[in-house]
Copies of this chain bind each other. A is one copy, B any other.
């Protein structure tokens, strides 16, 4: 018994062609793309043997160059709250082949207290192909041909699945450590040892110190930070060649989506119609709702996929909001199964047209009833991307007519006339809500956030972006008194995301932050740290406001001023973040 896609032959050919690389893709161990940059032996002439040092989480170490570290650093000190996840990077560089490089962590101890080594995850920082900003340096939007851009390997995926790695001669290799301080840990100065082995012997032992403060960060589900990274289940099904929404699919998605939940992900991305973004991603979003127009003119809707997906995401810990895309898709073309002809058809209709209203009214009424039955109506948002104002207003009319209590969200531009309509309103970093608007919305239980996309050269989360820019995003949200941050793509993978983060549009890495088999990335880890920073700031401010500690509040406000997107030229993200961390961690 075999299942075939409609485009069976095409698919089979594609499978045959990519069989070798697919095997590589789905196995935990995988090959990186060849390095397009030749190694410069002169740079390695002074490196006599393998070196191991603590490095910086702000740096993507180059594969083909010795790490730019002057004095080997054997010890590192981090500061953390209970419940916080902190990170460090060690780096190994070697003139000769290093067989079976491994990184072994010990428990961390502080007197009689202990943080188990199970709370420390190590992962090799792997190399993936990237490109660069548009030639004018002003952004990264538009369709692009990779050949037109400088393409290099860049350190980004954090590969916790490969226990040992062999380094060719004249290679650098980072290893990322992630320490999740238990919420029930005792405060104190913890110490542990990181043993780096290769060729069957110990290369180096590094000291890891963590100052655990007597403050507690709540679990990510409790964070106020409203993080909305759009999830794409279809990319996972395609990449792993599993049936969408099968047990195998969910099994693959659980650890992957846990990365989002652990970053404080609050919103479940759902596609209630076919191709809400007109297939802009490598794997287009399919409709999670079955639209069947019966031959008698009536409609049959089925929400089995929607329900399974939402329930799954909730079980992973993402449960604050369900965002439903889209009544105003990028192409106003609405697919449905036409029973009479037993084929898919498309209604082409615009908001404001009778056909549009009829089509959506029927669905929204059915949908509202279903959501109420599931108890999800109050957290479900009919979600829009920026569209012409006329279309948005007409769409709102239909939503309100179907059910006046439907929540609505928009990721777009600031429009004063929409402020009262939108329960979740996200605008670009370059625009600003009036401060009073943000406060009023928060009091009314409405969410107000900002987003970045291909527009911003920085801060951004391309695979070549400075690592600290990902953390900067959360700090900026704190600075602007916003509720959180949105990015349109958590995992809209390209064809071979582990090997090559470039795509046919936008700069490399624009379409995903995490990698197959739930490998995280420098970007995702730093972005998560930004969410933690936001929470810490929020908690401290609340405390200091209650206590009337004006000087503390002032020092926080002052350091937050570093997170001004207009000043990124003068104050690089890493500088701002490191300064701000020092201030925050002093409390």
A→B interface (CB under 8 Å):
1-6, 8, 237, 243-246, 274, 286-287, 290, 292, 294-296, 300, 302, 304-305, 308, 333, 337-349, 353-355
A294 close to B286 (CB less than 8 A): no
A341 in contact with B1 given A302-B294, A308-B295 (CB within 8 Å): no
A339: contacting residue among B5, B294, B304, B353, CB under 8 A: B304
CB neighbours (8 Å) of A353 from chain B are: 1
**Nearest B residue (CB) for A350:** B1
B337 close to A3 (CB less than 8 A): no
The answer for the CA separation of A302 and B345 in the assembled complex, in Å, is: 18
What distance in Å separates the Cβ of A311 from its nearest Cβ neighbour in chain B? 11
A6 in contact with B295 given A1-B355, A302-B300, A348-B1 (CB within 8 Å): no
The answer for the CA separation of A295 and B339 in the assembled complex, in Å, is: 19
B296 close to A1 (CB less than 8 A): no
A343 close to B5 (CB less than 8 A): yes
Q: A3-B346, A3-B347 are in contact. List 12 more A-B contacts (CB 8 A).
A: A4-B333, A4-B348, A6-B344, A6-B345, A244-B341, A290-B337, A292-B292, A295-B304, A295-B308, A300-B300, A302-B339, A337-B337
What distance in Å separates the Cβ of A203 from its nearest Cβ neighbour in chain B? 48
B292 close to A345 (CB less than 8 A): no
A341 close to B286 (CB less than 8 A): yes
CB neighbours (8 Å) of A6 from chain B are: 343-345
B296 close to A304 (CB less than 8 A): yes
The answer for the CA separation of A476 and B336 in the assembled complex, in Å, is: 50
CB neighbours (8 Å) of A244 from chain B are: 295, 340-341
What distance in Å separates the Cβ of A245 from its nearest Cβ neighbour in chain B? 4
**Nearest B residue (CB) for A298:** B304
A290 in contact with B292 given A245-B340, A340-B244 (CB within 8 Å): yes
CB neighbours (8 Å) of A304 from chain B are: 294-296, 339
CB neighbours (8 Å) of A4 from chain B are: 333, 345-346, 348
A3 close to B292 (CB less than 8 A): no
19 contacts between A and B (CB under 8 A): A1-B349, A1-B353, A2-B348, A4-B333, A4-B345, A5-B341, A237-B341, A244-B295, A286-B342, A290-B292, A290-B337, A294-B302, A295-B305, A295-B308, A296-B304, A296-B308, A300-B300, A305-B339, A305-B340
A243 in contact with B341 given A296-B304, A302-B300, A308-B295 (CB within 8 Å): yes
A1 close to B339 (CB less than 8 A): no
B274 close to A347 (CB less than 8 A): no
A342 close to B3 (CB less than 8 A): no
Question: Which of A8, A341, A346, A348 has the most chain B CB atoms closer than 10 A to its own CB?
Answer: A341
A245 close to B295 (CB less than 8 A): yes
B1 close to A347 (CB less than 8 A): yes
The answer for the CA separation of A381 and B305 in the assembled complex, in Å, is: 35
What distance in Å separates the Cβ of A397 from its nearest Cβ neighbour in chain B? 18
**Nearest B residue (CB) for A342:** B286
A290 close to B339 (CB less than 8 A): yes
A243: contacting residue among B245, B290, B294, B340, CB under 8 A: B340
CB neighbours (8 Å) of A300 from chain B are: 300, 302
